[in-house]
Amino acid sequence: MAINRVLNIAGVNTYVNPLLKNDGELLIAKNVESYPYGAKRKRPGYITYLGTADGNEVNTIFSWLRNDGTTLTVYRASGSSLYSSNQGTASWQLCGNGTIGNGSHVGYAVLDNILAIGDGEGSARHSSNGTSFTNTSLAPVGEHLVAYQNRMFIGGTSSTLFYSNAIIPGETYGGTASWDTTSPNDSASFNLPGAGKINSIFISNDRVVSSKTSGRMFTWDNYELADMSTTQGPSSPYSVAEKEGYHLWLNRDGIQSFGGGVPTLISNPIQSQIYNDVGDGISGSIFDDAPATIHHYDYLTSVGTVTDDLLNETYPDNIIKYNFQKNEFVNWQFEDNPTSWHSLNDIDGDRVLVFGDSGGQCYKMDGSANTDNGTAIEAEMVFSIHLGAPDIEKEWKRIVAIFNPGCEAKVQVAFSDSFSMDHLVWVPVDDSPTGIYKYRFEQGSRSRLLFVRIHESSKDTRFIFYGFIVEAEPVGR
C-alpha cells in the first residue's frame, strides 16, 4: 500500500514536465492565496472605494502623505481630469488646473514636500496644497518623474532625461529657478543612446535607473551615465512596482526582478501564460500598458485574457499574483477588471489595496468581504497525483481532503492514464461540515494518474485547504 501525505500546497507551475512534479503542485490556482503557509485560502473580496467621478477609465491612482504625517490626499486620473480625495475618505473633487490629456496616465514625484506631476502631453505641474496645481516654469513635458538628491528628474517624450537645479535650504521646488539652465544654474539634460524612447525612471541602489521602450537600461549617479548592457527593462512603465528597493516589472520575456544589479527572470513557472506556441499568451498591446502594484509582498499585474497552452486553460481578465516571500504564482480574476492599482497606508495607518476599472469606479480590497462588490468569487484549484510513479497503474483506495470546518468547497476526482485534461470525467467527493472530506474509491478504480479539482463560488465563508492524504495499491508492472 502506498500512502502520500501532502500538507504543503505549492503555487502554479506549468513549466516543469507535469510527470516530474510533486503531488500537490498546482496546475490551476484561481482566486486563492497562500495562508497559512503551505495551505491555500480563497482570496478576499472587495467593496467600492469613494464614488464614480466621471465614468471614464481610471488610468492612474496614487497618494501623497504630507511631511506632517497626517495630511493624506488620494488622486485618480480618468478621462481628461485629475481628481483628489481629502484624506482618502472625501468624495472626488476636480483638482485646480487638473485638466490632462484625455486617457493619459499621470506620473508623479515628491520633492521637498511639493508634489510634481506630468502627463506626457501638457505642461509639468506642481502643488503645495495637494488640490490645486501650478504650471512649472521651464520644466520639460514628460510623464515619468522621480526625485533624487534634491533634484527632480523628468523623462521626456523621446530619449532625453532632464534634471532640475538642486533645491537648497530656503528654496522650494517649482519656482522660476527650478529649471533655469542659465549660469550659475546647473539644470541640464542628456540623451539615453540607442533605440526606443524613455518609458520609466526610478531609484535603485542610490542611482537613477532609466529604461527605454527597447528594453535598454541605464543608471545615473549625478556624475556618470552607465549602460547596464541589458534589454530586459519593463515594456510597461505602469507594471514597475517597488518594495524596499526591490523592483518587479513585466516585459515580453516575462516578469523580471531587480535589486540594483542585473534584471532576473522569475516567471518560468507561468511562462505559457505570458507567451506560448499558439499565441494565446499576453497580447502585444497589453505588454505596453499593463498596470501593477506591490501590496505587502504580493506583486499584482493585470494582463488581459490569456490561455495556458499546456492545459488549454483560459483565464479571462487574468491577474497574475506573485508572492516573492514564497516565490509562488497564482491567478486572480475580479468581477471588475483593474485598469490601475495602488497600495497605500490610509489615514488610520492601515495598508490598503485600491484599484480602478474601465467604468470609472474605484474599489478597495477588504479582508472581511466574501464577494466582489456583491458578486460571488469563483475559486478553483486542480492538481494531479501519481505517487512518484507516473508509469505504474494504481488501484486507488482512499483520499482525504482537509479544509476548515463549515466551508462550502467542493471536491472532485478523475482518473487518467495520460496527462490530458480535455476528456476527464469528474466524480464528486462528499463534503462534510467538519472540513474532513473522505472518499473511498469503488473497487477497480484504476489509472496511472489521479486528478483532483477543488472549486467553490459561495458568498459565505472563505475556505482554507490544508492538504490531503491519498492511498493506492500499485498494480503489477
The answer to whether residue 38 sits within a structural domain is: yes
How far apart (Å, rounded) are the C-alpha atoms in residues 220 and 234? 18
Taking CA 320 as the corner, what is the angle to CA 314 and CA 322, rounded to the nearest 5 degrees? 140
Q: What does pTM read for this prediction?
A: 0.95
The answer to whether residue 191 sits within a structural domain is: no
397 falls in which pLDDT band (50, 70, 90)?
A: very high
The DSSP symbol for 141 reads P
Q: Which CATH number does the domain housing residue 429 bear?
A: 2.60.120
The answer to whether residue 441 sits within a structural domain is: yes
Stronger pLDDT, 87 or 423, i.e. the higher one = 87
The DSSP symbol for 66 reads -
DSSP 269-288: GGHHHH--TTS-SS-HHHHH
Taking CA 66 as the corner, what is the angle to CA 61 and CA 67, rounded to the nearest 5 degrees? 145
> Starting from the edge strand earliest in sequence, which strands make up the sheet with 449-456, in order?
292-295, 298-308, 313-323, 328-332, 26-30, 379-385, 449-456, 410-416, 427-429
The answer to whether residue 155 sits within a structural domain is: no
Q: What is the CA radius of gyration of the chain?
A: 25
The DSSP symbol for 435 reads S
The answer to whether residue 122 sits within a structural domain is: no
**191, pLDDT greater than 80:** yes
The answer to whether residue 417 sits within a structural domain is: yes
pLDDT in tens, 284-328: 999 999 999 999 999 999 999 999 988 889 999 999 999 999 999
How far apart (Å, rounded) are the C-alpha atoms in residues 250 and 257? 9
Stronger pLDDT, 165 or 432, i.e. the higher one = 165
Distance of CA 231 to the CA centre of its chain: 22
Specify the pLDDT at position 477.
58
pLDDT in tens, 221-262: 999 999 999 999 999 999 999 998 899 999 999 999 999 889
φ and ψ at residue 234, rounded to 5 degrees? -70, 140
pLDDT in tens, 106-130: 999 999 999 999 999 999 999 999 9
pLDDT in tens, 440-475: 999 989 999 999 999 999 998 899 999 999 999 999
**377, pLDDT greater than 90:** yes
279 falls in which pLDDT band (50, 70, 90)?
A: confident
- 79 three-state secondary structure: coil
The answer to whether residue 105 sits within a structural domain is: no
Hey, which residues does 468 pair with through a beta bridge? 6, 401
Could you count the other beta carbons within 10 Å of the beta carbon of residue 37? 8
Q: Return left, alpha or beta for 215; rule: phi > 0 is left, psi -120 to 50 is alpha, else beta.
A: left
Among residues 130, 34, 51, 102, the alpha carbon closest in space to that of 325 is found at: 34
Among residues 207, 270, 200, the alpha carbon closest in space to that of 239 is found at: 200
**385, pLDDT greater than 80:** yes
Q: Which residues contact 226 (CB under 8 A, 6 or more apart)?
A: 218, 219, 220
How far apart (Å, rounded) are the C-alpha atoms in residues 269 and 248? 16
430 falls in which pLDDT band (50, 70, 90)?
A: confident
How far apart (Å, rounded) are the C-alpha atoms in residues 297 and 276? 28
Number of separate domains in the chain: 1
Cis peptide bond prior to 316, omega within 30° of 0 = no
Q: How many residues does the chain have?
A: 477
C-alpha cell at 434: 467538519
Q: Where are the beta strands (DSSP E) in 43-159?
A: 45-49, 58-65, 72-78, 81-86, 93-99, 107-111, 114-118, 125-127, 134-135, 142-148, 151-156
- Average pLDDT (374-401) is 95
Q: Which residues contact 452 (CB under 8 A, 6 or more apart)?
A: 382, 383, 384, 385, 399, 401, 411, 412, 413, 468
169 falls in which pLDDT band (50, 70, 90)?
A: confident
The answer to whether residue 25 sits within a structural domain is: yes
How far apart (Å, rounded) are the C-alpha atoms in residues 420 and 427? 16
Q: For the chain, how far is it from start to end, CA to CA, in angstroms?
A: 15
pLDDT in tens, 31-76: 999 999 999 999 999 999 998 899 999 999 999 999 999 999 999 9
| Locus of grid cell 470609472 | 360
Could you list the residue range(s) of the whole structural domain that residue 33 is in? 2-43+379-474
How far apart (Å, rounded) are the C-alpha atoms in residues 146 and 153? 5
Specify the pLDDT at position 376.
97
